[in-house]
């Protein structure tokens, strides 16, 4: 990098601020330019220090972290990485933060995962490189399940499985895509790069927002129409078996990730051949590109998110460049394209 990434650390705990700052300054490309214990101090520090990235705790005095994040994204959009506990409430609020516009999240160290901050410098540097858009609350935000249900009353799936992969920026992207799916949507499997426990909160939030049933995938779960299965974060990859069941398989990281999009896509190409749709969304790196190419070679239809609509045009770019993407589409056109392609009465 040509210059150091300037970071402001915001957390009400002096100990946690110290841990975050120590983790970040181990990277020679990062400089911690300031610390703040609450949003009031943080607001002043942002004006004075003009940081490239802010790390933000969810629960703080004087103003909730989510309220502060929303003000940032409305008034002065900038990259924010959420630092959260693994409690149910902390995970739920972190998912809301990613929906509002935070770039990524990382869990605070805990027994059994004392080294969670090892990835923090990497996440911060990714955040510094992404495009951040102002938060706009409008009618274009994800539609209600009721409106989607009415819109697709005549839809009948042709039975093809839809496999979706996403990483940085994927929470917002998946919410928009899945909110456009009808209640009887094609059976859908998803790998989104996300820490453990956050995926359960994300699945629950998607389930509340979308017409189909959304759930964390469980081992041997039968893949059924009207259901969406999200790979759990952690130490297992999600695969699809020949008898169309979810398989959670322990394994090493692939492309730096577990679960990996490549592992999911490769299994779909083997188990479903051309009877599938592959979709690669926003994300840093190349995970999913090779797997999507395998799906296309097996006869599957493949879509990639367009550069202009991505938070990070990494995974879709690599997939497009190696010939894995048959058609690139803006985010708001992906759901209609998937549903049109999988309808039994689709027009050629």
CATH, residue 83: 3.40.50.2300
Q: pLDDT tens digits, the chain, 348 residues: what are they?
A: 568 999 999 999 999 999 999 999 999 999 999 999 999 999 999 999 999 999 999 888 778 889 999 999 999 999 999 998 766 677 888 899 999 999 999 888 877 777 889 999 999 999 999 988 887 654 444 445 555 555 677 889 898 999 999 999 999 999 999 999 999 999 999 999 998 878 999 999 999 999 999 999 999 999 999 999 999 998 899 999 999 999 999 999 999 999 999 999 999 999 999 999 999 999 999 999 999 999 999 999 999 999 999 999 999 999 999 999 999 999 999 999 999 999 987 654
Q: How far apart are CA 30 and CA 48, in angstroms?
A: 18
Q: Is 146 exposed, middle or buried (0-12, 13-18, 19+ CB in 10 A)?
A: exposed
User: Phi first, then psi: what are they for 3, rounded to 5°?
Assistant: -145, 160
Q: Which domain holds residue 44?
A: 5-129
- Maximum Cα–Cα distance across the chain: 61
Question: CA 161, 226, 183, 213 torsion: positive or negative?
Answer: negative
Residues contacting 237, CB < 8 A, separation 6+ = 191, 231, 248, 249, 250, 251, 254, 258, 259, 260, 263, 264
Q: CA-to-CA distance for 135 and 158, rounded, in angstroms?
A: 37
Q: Are 342 and 157 in contact (CB under 8 A)?
A: yes
State whether 70 and 168 are in the same domain.
Answer: no
202 is a domain residue = yes
In three-state secondary structure terms, 244 is coil
How many structural domains does the chain have?
2
Q: Which of 167, 179, 271, 309 is catalytic?
A: 167
Q: Is 152 a catalytic residue?
A: no
Identified catalytic residue from 152, 193, 237, 257: 193
Is the domain of 273 the same as that of 177? yes
> Is 167 in the same domain as 315?
yes
């Amino acid at each position: 990098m040509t210059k150091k990434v300037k970071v402001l650390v915001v957390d009400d705990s002096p100990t946690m601020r110290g841990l975050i700052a120590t983790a970040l300054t181990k990277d020679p490309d990062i400089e911690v330019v300031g610390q703040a214990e609450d949003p009031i101090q943080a607001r002043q520090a942002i004006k004075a220090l003009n940081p490239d990235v802010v790390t933000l705790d969810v629960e703080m005095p004087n103003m909730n972290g989510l309220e502060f994040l929303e003000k940032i994204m409305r008034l002065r959009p900038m990259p924010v990485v959420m630092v959260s506990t693994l409690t149910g409430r902390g995970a739920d609020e972190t998912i809301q933060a990613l929906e509002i516009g935070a770039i990524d999240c990382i869990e605070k160290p805990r027994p059994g995962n004392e080294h969670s901050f090892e990835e923090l410098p990497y996440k911060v540097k990714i955040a510094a490189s992404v495009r951040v858009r102002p938060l706009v609350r409008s009618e274009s935000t994800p539609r209600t399940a009721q409106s989607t249900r009415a819109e697709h009353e005549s839809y009948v799936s042709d039975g093809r499985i839809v496999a979706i992969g996403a990483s940085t920026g994927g929470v917002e992207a998946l919410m928009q895509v899945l909110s456009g799916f009808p209640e009887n949507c094609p059976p859908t499997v998803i790998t989104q790069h996300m820490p453990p426990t956050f995926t359960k909160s994300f699945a629950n939030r998607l389930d509340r927002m979308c017409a189909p049933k959304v759930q964390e995938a469980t081992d041997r779960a039968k893949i059924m129409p009207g259901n969406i299965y999200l790979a759990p974060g952690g130490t297992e990859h999600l695969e699809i078996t020949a008898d169309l069941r979810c398989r959670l398989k322990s394994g090493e990281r692939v492309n730096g990730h577990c679960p990996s999009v490549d592992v999911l896509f490769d299994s779909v190409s083997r188990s479903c051949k051309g009877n599938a749709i592959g979709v690669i969304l926003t994300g840093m790196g190349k995970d999913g590109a090779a797997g999507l190419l395998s799906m296309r070679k097996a006869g599957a239809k493949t879509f990639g998110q367009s550069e202009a609509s991505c938070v990070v045009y990494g995974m879709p770019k690599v997939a497009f460049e190696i010939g894995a993407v048959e058609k690139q589409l803006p985010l708001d056109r992906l759901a209609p394209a998937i549903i049109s392609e999988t309808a039994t009465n689709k027009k050629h």
